[in-house]
Structure 1
Amino acid sequence: MHATYDNRINRLTDEPVVIDRRDGPHGEVVLRRHGGLLQIIVNGVFLMDTSDGRSERLLVDAARDALPADRAEPSVLIGGLGVGFSLVHAAADPRWGRIDVVEREEAIVEWHEKGALREVSGAALEDERVRIVRADLVAYVHDGNERYDALCLDIDNGPDWTVTEGNHSLYSPQGLAACRNMLNSGGVLAIWSAQPSAVFEESLRNAGFTSVRTEEIPVVRGVPDVVHLAVRGA
């Protein structure tokens, strides 16, 4: 199913206006415009919008800053293309080397390549360091065919609030072990979440990670967003 609506309607109403709606292999994915914002909704769950981007930038910067100081042109895997903030921020930083972005929703990739989200990420997609990997992140991590210095994962609202049921395995002991195995020695795992979790911190330690900590991102209301950080030791 594929439907497109005229964005000009949005000028006459404060209600969100659907730009594109698709039924894919993992359910329904919707791109809509609400005022000046673009929003992505997956299976009826709000995923993210273009309102801020602070947490996406912190996700990338915190991972980079936790790497060994002598790590030259580190490679980074960004899990989830989303609205493109993490990709754009990484591509704007000349210190990163290879930048791979894994996205399973073809609709989201197309919205960036030739749709409304190109206004956010167009320049970053043309960066020669950037590669878009069309794959399911959970399967990609479990396959373990690549190695990175940093994994920046933002495909859910957190380990306890996944967008689809299958994503739970990414935060299981087996999933965290697979993440650890994808990292080079001294590499950093960074996971975005809508809320802190002491239980998940303990899961990271149990999976063999060191230097486990949580960085908070202040929000207008409610508990802060956070980035969980963990390091693969030598």
Structure 2
Amino acid sequence: MSSYHADTPEPLDRRDGPYGEVALRRRGPHFEIIANGTFLMDTADGRSERMLISCALDALDGARGAHVLIGGLGVGFSLAEAARDRRPGRITVVERERAIIDWHTRGDAPLAPFAGEGHSDPRAEIVHADLIEHLRTTENRYDALCLDIDNGPDWTVTESNDSLYGDEGLDLVERTLADEGVLAVWSAAPSPAFEARLRARFARIEVIEVPVHVERGLPDVVYLSSRV
């Protein structure tokens, strides 16, 4: 019988890649992804990650056939929500970490169950690429851009992601967003400076707060933005 304690993380895999170290570990019944020694996400809840998708689709006024981009595969909650919904016509998931894709698709694929029907959904594809580079080079115009690649605009996984939340990144977002499209950005805490940048560019802004465990205090936040 294992002496593993529920409060002690059990390492499952660790990879060194072009953006640093990424690791998967288990804590009790839950899985955690750690990037460069920083906690990134786990499978304990997922409400705000699902809301990132559902609120963006609701903001499209029920339009069917929408092309949805999910920035960051993570543990799969956002992909699961998109696949559960009949409104998307295409679902493109952009993930830069090969390890995270493998944890969903290879071997015993420990994270696959958390993506729901996403991996078997014919509407969905996973693109192995850096999100900023994808936005810079894609010819697609997305109806919904749902971004969750960091702990938020003020707490990025790597310095190279900082530009996504500044003027350069928002220029790319506007270039790839359909005229009546919706931008949804997940954050682990409110970011007044990022909200101000959104308000300077978009006509419609909604800030959705999702309460989390009391010990952490600050709520998760989903920022919804559109031109109309």
Q: Output the TM-score relative to the length of structure 2.
A: 0.93
Q: Deviations over 1:87-122 (max 9, x none)?
A: 011101111110000000000001000221123226
Shift of 1:57: 0.8
Q: 2-side partners of 1:106 and 1:159: how far apart?
A: 23
Q: Secondary structure of 1:152's match?
A: strand
For the residues of structure 2 that align with 1:172 and 1:123, how far apart are their CA atoms?
Answer: 34
| Greater Cα shift, 12-21 or 48-57 | 12-21
1:83 is matched with which residue? 75
Question: Structure 1, residues 127-173: CA drift from partner, whole Å, max 9, x if none?
Answer: 10000001000111122422110000000011011010000010111
Match of 1:3 in 2: none
1:225 maps to 2:220: yes
C-alpha displacement of 1:73:
1.5
Matched, 1:96 2:91: no
Secondary structure, in 3 states, of the residue corresponding to 2:74? coil
1:198 deviates by 2.2
1:19·1:31 contact (CA, 8 Å) conserved in 2?
yes
- Indicate the residue corresponding to 1:4 in structure 2: none
Task: Report 1:21-32 matches (<5 A).
Answer: 21-32=14-25
| 2:182 aligned partner, one-letter code | V
Partner of residue 129, structure 1: 123
Alignment length (residue pairs): 223
Which ranges of 4 or more aligned residues in structure 1 deviate by more than 3 Å? none
CA contact (8 A) 2:83 2:116 kept: no
**Relative to structure 2, which stretch is displaced further, 110-119 or 129-138?**
110-119
Alignment check: 8 A CA contact 2:64 2:86 kept: no
Question: Do structure 1's residue 194 and structure 2's residue 168 form an aligned pair?
Answer: no
Alignment deviations for residues 26-48 of structure 1 (CA, whole Å, 9 cap, x no partner): 10000001000000000001000
What is the match of residue 41 of structure 1?
34
The CA RMSD over aligned residues, in Å, is: 1.4
The answer on whether the counterparts of 1:113 and 1:122 sit within 8 Å (CA) in structure 2 is no
Q: By how many angstroms is 1:195 displaced? A: 1.0
* Cα distance between partner residues in 1 of 2:221 and 2:227: 20
Match of residue 205 from structure 2: 212
Which whole-Å CA distance do the structure 1 matches of 2:132 and 2:90 have between them?
20
TM-score normalised by structure 1 residue count: 0.91
Q: Is the 8 A contact 2:33 2:42 kept in 1?
A: yes
1:123 deviates by 3.0
Residue aligning to 2:178 = 184
Gaps of 5+ in 2: none
CA contact (8 A) 1:103 1:133 kept: yes
Are positions 1:55 and 2:29 aligned together? no
- Is the 2:56–2:144 contact (alpha carbons within 8 Å) kept by the matching residues of 1? yes
CA distance in 2: counterparts of 1:204 and 1:197, whole angstroms: 11
Single out whichever of 191-200 and 113-122 deviates more from structure 2.
Answer: 113-122
Cα deviations by residue, 1:33-92 (Å, 9 ceiling, x for unpaired)? 1000000000001000000110011100111111134x2221100000000000011101
